[in-house]
Structure 1
Amino acid sequence: MPDITWEAPFCGEGNNCFRIGTDAEGNAYIALNGEEDRPLTDSIEALRTLIRDVKAGKADHLL
Structure 2
Amino acid sequence: MAAISWEEPYCAEGNNCFRIGTDSEGNAYIAVAGQEDQPLTDTREALRNLILEIKAGKADHLL
Scaled by the length of structure 2, the TM-score of the pair is 0.93
User: Are 2:2 and 2:25, in contact at CA under 8 Å, matched by a contact in 1?
Assistant: no
Cα deviation, residue 13, structure 1: 1.9
What residue number does 1:14 align with? 14
Larger relative helix fraction? 1
User: Percent of counterpart pairs with the same letter?
Assistant: 73
Q: 1:54 to 1:15 in 2, by over 3 A?
A: closer
What residue number does 1:32 align with? 32
Aligned residue pairs total 63
What residue number does 1:62 align with? 62
Cα deviation, residue 2, structure 1: 2.4
- Structure 1: gaps (5+ residues): none
The CA distance in 2 between the partners of 1:7 and 1:18, in whole Å, is 9
Runs of 4+ off more than 4 Å: none
The CA distance in 2 between the partners of 1:59 and 1:35, in whole Å, is 23
- Structure 2: gaps (5+ residues): none
What residue number does 1:48 align with? 48
CA RMSD of aligned residues (A): 1.0
